[in-house]
């Protein structure tokens, strides 16, 4: 017997305008209805109707500041669901269309709600595993080794101070463009925030794109052996 919750959620996400709103909110920002209406190409009145349905369905939440209302994804579970759905694609039967520069940047390095994703996120996670700083565990989790805890501490991430959620401490999140896992969970969130604070990464103000700074390129190569220039060449080849 079908699960009514799954059916209702699928119905909400299936609408093109609502899906566009949800994707716009994937970077973790809270946005007003007007911005979401423009992002989805619909009128403010129609956007309000869609937002009411998404609120009722538990996919988004709203914050009120004075006379203004700001909408965001309900939580990281919604973001992960959207990322996973984006990874489901039919087998290509025709030559794929050329990617836009913005799409290429998102594929290369982006935010997956609140942690690092894209080719850079995957390569950083792979490097952490190769150096035995983290290890794959059951139930889609990573465990942090003693050497890993020391390394994270050296860059400013106090592993012992992080509290696991009910979904774990260091989670494996399937990357929708790379089709392999990157680091998520409380550790992934603090890790990306620390790299941004150190000036290794910079958040885009207009999209989910993450820019690796020259300082970050040098540091990632020195610390983890991740060569950003080489990754860019392989992406463009």
Take residue 12 and report the two structure tokens written for it.
Answer: 């909400």
**Which residue ranges of the chain lie beneath pLDDT 70?**
1-4, 87, 89-99, 236-237
Cβ–Cβ contacts within 10 Å for residue 182, how many? 24
Q: What is the pLDDT of residue 81?
A: 83
Q: Does the pTM exceed 0.75?
A: no
Q: What is the pLDDT of residue 104?
A: 86
Q: What is the pLDDT of residue 91?
A: 56
Helix (H/G/I), strand (E/B), else coil: 103: helix
Residue 206, burial from CB neighbour count under 10 angstroms (0-12, 13-18, 19+): exposed
Distance of alpha carbon 128 from the chain centroid? 18
Cβ–Cβ contacts within 10 Å for residue 220, how many? 22
Q: What is the pLDDT of residue 177?
A: 84
Domains in the chain: boundaries:
4-74, 101-236
Residue 60: half-sphere exposure toward Cβ, Cα within 13 Å: 30
Residue 60 · residue 74 · CB < 8 Å: yes
Q: Using CA atoms, how far apart are residues 100 and 134, in angstroms rounded to an integer?
A: 34
Q: What is the pLDDT of residue 89?
A: 64
**Measuring CA to CA, how many Å separate 121 from each of 55, 70, 100, 177?**
31, 29, 20, 11
Question: E strands, 74-203, where?
Answer: 110-112, 115-117, 134-137, 141-144, 171-174, 181-184, 201-203
Q: Using CA atoms, how far apart are residues 23 and 43, in angstroms rounded to an integer?
A: 18
4-74 folds as Arc Repressor Mutant, subunit A (1.10.10)
């Amino acid at each position: 017997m079908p699960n009514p919750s799954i059916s209702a959620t699928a119905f909400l996400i299936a609408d093109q305008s609502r899906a566009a709103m949800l994707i716009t909110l994937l970077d973790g920002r809270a946005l007003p209805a007007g911005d979401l209406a423009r992002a989805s190409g619909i009128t403010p009145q129609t956007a309000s109707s869609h937002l009411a349905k998404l609120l009722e369905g538990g996919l988004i939440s709203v914050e009120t500041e004075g006379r203004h209302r700001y909408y965001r994804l309900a939580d990281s579970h919604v973001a992960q669901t959207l990322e996973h759905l984006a990874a489901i694609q039919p087998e290509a039967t025709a030559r794929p269309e050329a990617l836009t520069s913005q799409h290429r940047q998102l594929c290369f390095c982006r935010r997956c709600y609140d942690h690092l994703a894209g080719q850079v996120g995957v390569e950083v996670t792979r490097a952490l595993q190769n150096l035995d700083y983290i290890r794959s565990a059951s139930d889609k989790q990573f465990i942090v080794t003693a050497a890993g805890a020391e390394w994270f501490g050296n860059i400013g991430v106090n592993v012992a101070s992080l509290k696991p959620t009910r979904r774990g401490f260091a989670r494996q999140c399937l990357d929708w463009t790379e089709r392999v896992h990157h680091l998520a969970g409380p550790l992934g969130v603090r890790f990306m925030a620390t790299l941004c604070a150190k000036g290794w990464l910079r958040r885009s103000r207009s999209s989910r794109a993450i820019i690796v700074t020259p300082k970050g390129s040098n540091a990632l190569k020195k610390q983890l052996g991740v060569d950003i220039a080489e990754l860019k060449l392989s992406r463009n080849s």
